[in-house]
Amino acid sequence: MLVVMQPHAGQPEIDAVIEKIRSLGLTAHPIPGAQRVAIGITGNKGGLEPELFTTLPGVADAIRVSQPFKLVSREVKEEDTVIDVGGVPLGGTALAVMAGPCSVESRGQLLEAAHAVKAAGARFLRGGAFKPRTSPYEFQGLGEEGLKLLAAAREETGLKVVTEVMDVEHLDMVADYADVLQIGARNMQNYSLLRQLGRVRRPILLKRGPSATIKEWLMAAEYVVSEGNYQVALCERGIRTFETMTRNTLDLNAVPILKALTHLPVIVDPSHGIGLRAHVPAMARAGIAAGADGIIVEVHPRPEKALSDGQQSLTPAEFDELMRQVRVIAGAVGRGV
Amino acid sequence: MLVVMQPHAGQPEIDAVIEKIRSLGLTAHPIPGAQRVAIGITGNKGGLEPELFTTLPGVADAIRVSQPFKLVSREVKEEDTVIDVGGVPLGGTALAVMAGPCSVESRGQLLEAAHAVKAAGARFLRGGAFKPRTSPYEFQGLGEEGLKLLAAAREETGLKVVTEVMDVEHLDMVADYADVLQIGARNMQNYSLLRQLGRVRRPILLKRGPSATIKEWLMAAEYVVSEGNYQVALCERGIRTFETMTRNTLDLNAVPILKALTHLPVIVDPSHGIGLRAHVPAMARAGIAAGADGIIVEVHPRPEKALSDGQQSLTPAEFDELMRQVRVIAGAVGRGV
Amino acid sequence: MLVVMQPHAGQPEIDAVIEKIRSLGLTAHPIPGAQRVAIGITGNKGGLEPELFTTLPGVADAIRVSQPFKLVSREVKEEDTVIDVGGVPLGGTALAVMAGPCSVESRGQLLEAAHAVKAAGARFLRGGAFKPRTSPYEFQGLGEEGLKLLAAAREETGLKVVTEVMDVEHLDMVADYADVLQIGARNMQNYSLLRQLGRVRRPILLKRGPSATIKEWLMAAEYVVSEGNYQVALCERGIRTFETMTRNTLDLNAVPILKALTHLPVIVDPSHGIGLRAHVPAMARAGIAAGADGIIVEVHPRPEKALSDGQQSLTPAEFDELMRQVRVIAGAVGRGV
Amino acid sequence: MLVVMQPHAGQPEIDAVIEKIRSLGLTAHPIPGAQRVAIGITGNKGGLEPELFTTLPGVADAIRVSQPFKLVSREVKEEDTVIDVGGVPLGGTALAVMAGPCSVESRGQLLEAAHAVKAAGARFLRGGAFKPRTSPYEFQGLGEEGLKLLAAAREETGLKVVTEVMDVEHLDMVADYADVLQIGARNMQNYSLLRQLGRVRRPILLKRGPSATIKEWLMAAEYVVSEGNYQVALCERGIRTFETMTRNTLDLNAVPILKALTHLPVIVDPSHGIGLRAHVPAMARAGIAAGADGIIVEVHPRPEKALSDGQQSLTPAEFDELMRQVRVIAGAVGRGV
């Protein structure tokens, strides 16, 4: 249930509603909005009577939320969430462009990539320091050394750092260096990790699991938000299907569906979504045309020498050309970069 | 194998190559191109020696085709196929826009839809007279009566008619009325039908099977082309996956992949691809941004009363608004409507 | 709706019910049972009032059928359908064992296979004369010549012939030679063909489409039955999933589900279901343990020389060994061979 | 690469091989076998020369391992792994039968279930204390209180306890109470957790991820084994497909494939595999007929009141009946219970 306060309601009236919710053994989630405050209620088994709340002073309405995801739902918060990443918006009319190498490999590689993607127009630098790999014998990332290089690249370029956190053990460490914490597809339903992410003060980029339904994905976001961290963006990166010519099947249907169901920003990852360098630009364009709030693209100075994902990484020149196309499409759908 | 003739090669030299191919027990497929003629060879079990042909007069080269699909491959024909549908191009820089009701229901319904989609900018009218339905007890289409209404709508509006043929029995009848023969998703691997389609002089719109790989789809097109009908366009309409919020998963990855692998035009069907009226425009935009040569969209004067697919049909006003968006995106990728 | 007659009801009372149904513009489907006759009604849009029929003489009950498939449903016919294939049962407690080569290749190959599978205990000979192939350039079967060889093998061995019919054009020809008409997976939703199958007097083996849901499969069977041919058996042959180590994913879940939902016999095809010779026996055993009414297995005298499906065909010796295992498992679930 | 020692080779010769491996910067994994010791080598990028090892004393052979999974491969260890769970075998000819409630709910519920499944013939008690749930608002398990109840049930019945560990944080706690640590499907590629599991001295039951290929699953097991814990069993519990009538699609193809590729035991979970109580027995039978080394089945004293998975839990009486069937099928494939 969602309790919507009147525009002029003050803190004492809000506090009274929260107190009422707690007295019922339930959890209150105050959600500040542009016009007025709303308070989500979770923890109830069955339905609640609206009259429990509408009779309190300052309350405009009490609305039943029909979806199993509550706090991430548009029913609960109508306006788009725009996450403020140290001054750079994630969500809203300006497209968020994230780019950089799959793995941080060396200072030279990372800085070259960072300068290139910044020059092309990206405002976020992606790069993996902890890498989930199918085989235990493959390169697993540079670890903290990689995080330090990312921080150094931020220092030099002003780009915001997006990097993956794989487990609770390294959460504080990664949060110390990163601006946005990426949760990989295979961890989308790692509920222990999701709960902890709800307790850090860092924006989260939650990738869709390869076989997760849209509903399950929203429920995963709900885990984070229900613990108090509202700064969550969703990243469509392709699902697993029977098609073998492409690495994944980029499910762009998810973009308009999500934009209707949730207020959270939606990012598209065309690199993993198709997995073939030559076709990444087409899918980046398509993602933006479908209504995404941004893209995340793998860029490597020398893809043929990359320690991971070389086959789907753009060169700096290809990324620069992609950004030209992105600007045109963004303009066509009323967006800027 | 593909025998490429020299630009100045004349008919006698072409005939000599064809004769040579036949003398080996193989099949020759002459493919006229802008600059020169090429001759595809099929029917061989193992590889052929290029010298069998390069020693003949007028032959520029003899190339092994690496893909299992031969005549539909870009290796065999580099330039885009543009199908001439009675003066209206299908393929090439002008987007082909096809629109109309799922089923032809009545004269009034069809003409209202036809006038509306024409006014909005479509040049093809879609509408089903023979409907493949999951249940034998559901509306199966008006049959020949529906075809007559389609022909009447063409008469009145000048739109080209796209309609489905479900079987060989009705092939001649449908071909008499239609400008483009649509093959439904569930018939994509109906090889007996495909072979017969290769023998008619009508353009074919071949929908992707719900669980067909891109390679299988190209092989299905190869069935048609290998029988002599080169006028084939491919239509991505969504594949079957685990996601249940959408009717199908529109696989836009297929668009750039196909444009690289084949010279045939590629059309996107956002209506079946997502199955939800509110989100059809987003997916139409995305399809064009991904590089499609056109779209096919369900439009019904009163979707809430449609005998089939009402939940995914646009109203004329919604289609008109979509066409405005399509023009902008088309311009952004160097296309016109 | 299903009208159930009283056990002692006679033809005049049955005819009166049928007449009543017709007078309402609906279709009557009399279904003889062991104890009494039932009459299925199709063609109604909304629900019918039971009183329309329960007030007629000889009527015991009128029951609403909740499933979209009607005549194939257990609600309409409780006891198992046992198809009589010229004296050999398909369905019921005796397992139906069908075996033979993927394609009929030659008289010698076919007879060798036929004698071997008979000796091992099979009572049906499978073999394809018309072969749906992904590529137009692959072996397409011997056609009528293959059918003649199948008939000759029946003559010599007494085995019943199961062979595929691919289209309406060849339906009469195939029906002339075959005892059971197989419908391939890619034709499962070829509704024009299904309707015609409803009009022939031959048992049908309807393979599941590679991406067909169980419900769609039952609806396909309903197409055949609603036209008057009740002799339909269903064949699970694997569905398409993301797994690539096996040719298909044999969905044995479908076996108990189908046995609960329908009275039609259920056959399992372990050869296509896993696609690897070494593992066909395990999946045949599993299919029977899951409750299947029979199996269909590819057997070739020399799999390594087979023109199709050699990688999944058993040798006669392997099939003989499989039959020993089948007998043991069959006994464990109260079946005989 | 795998170095196979001669049967009579002693510890000094084994140590010399290990030393040689380490001197190359690689990792040695000694694998004791019935006849002789083998030593797996991992950590090499390219291929190694067999002569590096075959020239050492006591070495019989040095074999390249062709699969990306090494230590779990049959190439490396031919005989079946039989895990000794405190005197009860997991793997080998005796079927391992695990049964019990989805969630531990109360002392009474658990003990009633435990006594019932023991009486029916199970030797392992399953029950969840930490429950991964799609929604953060659903019952998440009793936590340590549940573990204590499981230990008490072991005390009373002698059954071995199988229970899920969801994260590294609770690993030591769960390992203190459990005999077998279950890794849930959604954690199959939680590599941080897998690595830690490699360092505990507890058998692991590794469930297949809902969209994991067989190869990815074996690589996940390799993560555990490569850290030193060889006591890993694999559990097939169904994959995600397009079929919606069943909760998952139980992929029994995986059973014979795994038995050929790996020496690890393979368990089948028919409860999650089909998700419908009435059909769990059929799939349990099928799993054993396919060659599984055991089954894990949800049993609840009152399924209709279960806090989770009631729709797929057997009653004690149904489980008892299932065990009768299991014994018969087990006998038919040369197994005991």
DSSP B204-241: EEEEPPTT--HHHHHHHHHHHHHTT---EEEEE--B--
Q: Which residue of C has its CA nearest to D287?
A: C286
Cross-chain Cβ contact C215/D242 below 8 Å? no
Lowest mean pLDDT among A145-149, B5-9, B265-269, D107-111: B5-9
Q: Which residue of A has its CA nearest to C211?
A: A242
Residue percentage of chain B with pLDDT more than 90: 83
Which strands, in side-by-side order, build the sheet including B37-42?
Answer: B27-32, B37-42, B2-5, B59-63
D60-74 pLDDT, tens digit each: 999 888 888 989 999
Q: Which residue of B has its CA nearest to C186?
A: B189
The shortest CB-CB distance from A283 to any of B214, B252, B274 is to: B252
D236-284 pLDDT, tens digit each: 999 999 999 999 999 999 999 999 999 999 999 999 999 999 999 999 9
Chain A residues in contact with C240 (beta carbon < 8 A)? 242
Q: Which residues contact C205 (CB under 8 A, 6 or more apart)?
A: C162, C180, C181, C182, C183, C233, C235, C267, C296
Q: How confident is the model at residue B337 (pLDDT cuts 50, 70, 90)?
A: confident
How far is A50 from D184, CA to CA, in rounded Å? 39
The 3-state DSSP class for residue D68 equals: coil
Cross-chain Cβ contact C240/A242 below 8 Å? yes
D125-149 pLDDT, tens digit each: 999 999 998 888 888 899 999 999 9
Cross-chain Cβ contact B193/C167 below 8 Å? yes
Chain B residues in contact with C26 (beta carbon < 8 A)? none
Residue A26's pLDDT is: 92
The shortest CB-CB distance from C328 to any of D242, D253, D332 is to: D332
Chain D residues in contact with C283 (beta carbon < 8 A)? 252-253, 256, 290
The shortest CB-CB distance from D211 to any of A137, A167, A240 is to: A240
Alpha carbon C109 to chain centroid, angstroms: 25
Lowest mean pLDDT among A61-65, C232-236, C267-271, C320-324: A61-65
Residue percentage of chain A with pLDDT more than 90: 83
Task: Break chain A into its structural domains and give their ranges.
Answer: 2-63, 83-332
The shortest CB-CB distance from C245 to any of D257, D325, D332 is to: D257
A196 Cα to chain B: minimum distance (Å)? 28
D190-223 pLDDT, tens digit each: 999 999 999 998 999 999 999 999 999 999 999 9
A128-173 pLDDT, tens digit each: 999 999 888 888 899 999 999 999 999 999 999 999 999 999 999 9
Find the mean pLDDT for residues B231-255.
Answer: 97
Residue A114's pLDDT is: 98
Lowest mean pLDDT among B38-47, B102-111, C135-144: B38-47
The shortest CB-CB distance from B240 to any of D211, D240, D242 is to: D242
Mutate to test the interface with A, among D133, D192, D193 (most CBs of A within 10 A): D192
Chain D residues in contact with C329 (beta carbon < 8 A)? 289, 329, 332-333
D99 Cα to chain B: minimum distance (Å)? 29
Residue C240's pLDDT is: 97
Superfamily name with CATH number, domain A2-63: Phospho-2-dehydro-3-deoxyheptonate aldolase; domain 1 (3.30.70.1140)
Cross-chain Cβ contact B189/C193 below 8 Å? no
Whether the Cβ atoms of residue A304 and residue A318 lie closer than 8 Å to each other = no
Residue C208's pLDDT is: 98
How far is A311 from A302, CA to CA, in rounded Å? 11
Residue A230's pLDDT is: 94
Q: How confident is the model at residue A44 (pLDDT cuts 50, 70, 90)?
A: confident
Cross-chain Cβ contact A244/C241 below 8 Å? no
Cross-chain Cβ contact A257/B251 below 8 Å? no
Residue D190's pLDDT is: 96
Q: How confident is the model at residue C175 (pLDDT cuts 50, 70, 90)?
A: very high
Residue B262's pLDDT is: 98
How far is A141 from A104, CA to CA, in rounded Å? 7
B25-36 pLDDT, tens digit each: 999 988 877 778
Chain B residues in contact with C132 (beta carbon < 8 A)? 189, 191
Q: Which residue of A has its CA nearest to D140?
A: A191
Find the mean pLDDT for residues A214-239.
Answer: 96
Amino acid at D169: E
ipTM attached to this prediction: 0.92
Find the mean pLDDT for residues A111-130.
Answer: 98
Chain B residues in contact with C191 (beta carbon < 8 A)? 132-133, 136, 166
Q: Which residue of B has its CA nearest to A289?
A: B286
Mutate to test the interface with B, among A253, A325, A329 (most CBs of B within 10 A): A253
HSE (side-chain half, CA atoms, 13 Å) at A232: 32
A-C contacts at Cβ under 8 angstroms:
8
HSE (side-chain half, CA atoms, 13 Å) at B183: 34
Whether the Cβ atoms of residue B56 and residue B20 lie closer than 8 Å to each other = yes
Cross-chain Cβ contact A211/B242 below 8 Å? yes
Chain B residues in contact with A288 (beta carbon < 8 A)? 289
Chain D residues in contact with B211 (beta carbon < 8 A)? 242
Cross-chain Cβ contact A278/B255 below 8 Å? no
Q: Between the CA of residue C260 and those of B95, C75, C93, C265, D187, what are the distances in Å?
A: 51, 10, 16, 11, 34
Helices D144-157, D107-120: crossing angle, 10 deg rounding: 40
Mutate to test the interface with A, among C242, C247, C248 (most CBs of A within 10 A): C242
Q: Which residue of D has its CA nearest to C247?
A: D253
Residue D326 above 90 pLDDT? Answer: yes
Residue A66's pLDDT is: 80
Mean pLDDT (chain D, rounded)? 94
The alpha-helical segments, DSSP class H, found in C163-315 are 171-177, 191-197, 214-226, 254-261, 270-274, 280-289
Cross-chain Cβ contact A249/B239 below 8 Å? yes
D82 Cα to chain C: minimum distance (Å)? 21
> Measuring CA to CA, which residue among A56, B317, A196 is closest to residue D166?
A196
Residue B99's pLDDT is: 98
Cross-chain Cβ contact B249/A239 below 8 Å? yes
Buried-state track A102-131, b at ≥16 Cβ within 10 A, e below 16: bbbbeeebbbbbbbbbbebbbbbbbbbbbb
C90-126 pLDDT, tens digit each: 999 999 999 999 999 999 999 999 999 999 999 999 9
Superfamily name with CATH number, domain A83-332: Aldolase class I (3.20.20.70)
C213-231 pLDDT, tens digit each: 999 999 999 999 999 899 9
Residue A233 above 90 pLDDT? Answer: yes
Q: How confident is the model at residue B192 (pLDDT cuts 50, 70, 90)?
A: very high
Residue D69, φ and ψ in degrees, nearest 5:
-90, 135
Lowest mean pLDDT among B53-67, B199-213, C94-108, C141-155: B53-67
Amino acid at D9: A
Residue B63's pLDDT is: 86
Neighbouring C-beta atoms of residue C155, cutoff 10 Å: 9
Find the mean pLDDT for residues A218-224.
Answer: 96
Cross-chain Cβ contact A329/B331 below 8 Å? no
The shortest CB-CB distance from A240 to any of C211, C240, C242 is to: C242
Residue C42's pLDDT is: 87
Q: Chain B residues contacting C, CB < 8 Å?
A: 42-43, 68, 70, 132-137, 166-170, 186-187, 189-193, 195, 209-211, 216, 219, 222-223, 226-227, 240
As a 3-state breakdown, chain D gives helix, strand, coil percent values, each rounded to 5, of: 40, 20, 40
C-D contacts at Cβ under 8 angstroms:
131
D290 Cα to chain C: minimum distance (Å)? 5
Q: Which chains lie within 8 Å of chain A at 3 or more CB pairs, if any?
A: B, C, D
Residue C32's pLDDT is: 75
Q: Chain D residues contacting B, CB < 8 Å?
A: 211, 240-242, 244
A261-281 pLDDT, tens digit each: 999 999 999 999 999 999 999
Torsion sign, CA atoms B185, B335, A252, B74:
positive
Q: Chain C residues contacting A, CB < 8 Å?
A: 211, 240-242, 244
Chain D residues in contact with A191 (beta carbon < 8 A)? 132-133, 136, 166, 186
Whether the Cβ atoms of residue A127 and residue A146 lie closer than 8 Å to each other = yes
